[in-house]
Amino acid sequence: KAGVTQTPRYLIKTRGQQVTLSCSPISGHRSVSWYQQTPGQGLQFLFEYFSETQRNKGNFPGRFSGRQFSNSRSEMNVSTLELGDSALYLCASSPGLAEYEQYFGPGTRLTVT
Amino acid sequence: GENVEQHPSTLSVQEGDSAVIKCTYSDSASNYFPWYKQELGKGPQLIIDIRSNVGEKKDQRIAVTLNKTAKHFSLHITETQPEDSAVYFCAASKGGGGADGLTFGKGTHLIIQP
């Protein structure tokens, strides 16, 4: 089975712009979670989607949003980018409600200048 | 919310020796404890996990132990090899399917000295 794929792998944006990142989960997986990884804060949970519904959200401002499509692919959007949004954004997929294991993609490296 | 502490932040061991990384968690409702290995330029890779109804789990050279009473869990790597060099993260959660999100420790940089 192919793993979790994320596009693009690298992005450079300017403060104030917005960005959309994409994630395709492992085939058959219905849950997609997003995490932010920075040297200072480590890995932090952003939100999780299952069957196109957001089930949980971490402690991030409303500028961070996401959605999931009927084929389980997911996108996350960050509006009005700030320098502090520079990070590795990771997507993880899980088979479903009763399954605990999460499998991560390679991430999208976002740099805000 | 949940808080996960991980120690040490850096661990250097001789090739062939054992390595132990320890984590503590704060929320007694947490019931799932995975360990991830992250190599440079890659996403975290799930290497082993344990649920709260089990005290120990082993997979070849890797083992994880869980003490629910003390709220701590540990990763043990025996007969370390150069390819074990990476950053290791522990995590905790209390939901299935990722619903509750994983709370991660800050990571341990494991260095295997030849």
What are A96-106's pLDDT values in tens digits?
A: 766 788 999 99
Judge whether A30 and A49 are in contact, CB under 8 Å: no
pLDDT by residue for chain B (114 residues), tens only, comes to 899 999 999 999 999 999 999 999 999 999 999 999 999 999 999 999 999 888 999 999 999 999 999 999 999 999 999 999 999 999 999 866 556 789 999 999 999 999
**Structure tokens belonging to residue B83:** 């390819």
What are A12-46's pLDDT values in tens digits?
A: 999 999 999 999 999 999 999 999 999 999 999 99
**Structure tokens belonging to residue A44:** 């932090």
| Predicted local distance difference test score (pLDDT) of residue B97 | 57
| Predicted local distance difference test score (pLDDT) of residue B99 | 63
Tell me the count of A-B CB pairs closer than 8 A: 79
8 Å CB contact of B43 and A96: no
Judge whether B101 and B93 are in contact, CB under 8 Å: yes
Alpha carbon of residue A87 to chain centroid: 11
Contacts A98 to B, Cβ<8 Å: 96-97
| Interatomic CA distance for residues B73 and B7, integer angstroms | 11
| Predicted local distance difference test score (pLDDT) of residue A7 | 98
**Structure tokens belonging to residue B6:** 């991980």
SS3 B19: strand
Per-residue CA distances from B68 to A13, A60, A76, B19, B92 (Å): 45, 30, 35, 22, 12
| Interatomic CA distance for residues B96 and A99, integer angstroms | 5
| Predicted local distance difference test score (pLDDT) of residue B60 | 96
Judge whether B71 and B56 are in contact, CB under 8 Å: no
The dihedral built from the CA positions of residue A44, A50, A56 and A59, taken in this order, carries a sign that is positive
| Interatomic CA distance for residues A89 and A75, integer angstroms | 11
| Predicted local distance difference test score (pLDDT) of residue B53 | 84
| Predicted local distance difference test score (pLDDT) of residue A96 | 79
Residues A45-71, mean pLDDT to the nearest whole number = 94
| Predicted local distance difference test score (pLDDT) of residue A100 | 82
Interface with chain B: mutation pick from A37, A72, A102, highest number of B CBs within 10 Å: A102
| Interatomic CA distance for residues A74 and A65, integer angstroms | 11
Contacts B104 to A, Cβ<8 Å: 42-44
Whether the predicted pLDDT of A9 surpasses 70: yes
Residues forming beta bridges with residue A90, ordered by sequence position: A35
| Predicted local distance difference test score (pLDDT) of residue A2 | 84
Closest residue in A to B108 (Cα–Cα): A42
Whether the predicted pLDDT of A110 surpasses 70: yes
What are A88-97's pLDDT values in tens digits?
A: 999 999 987 6
Q: Which of residues 7-46 of B touch A (CB under 8 A)?
A: 32, 34, 36, 41-46
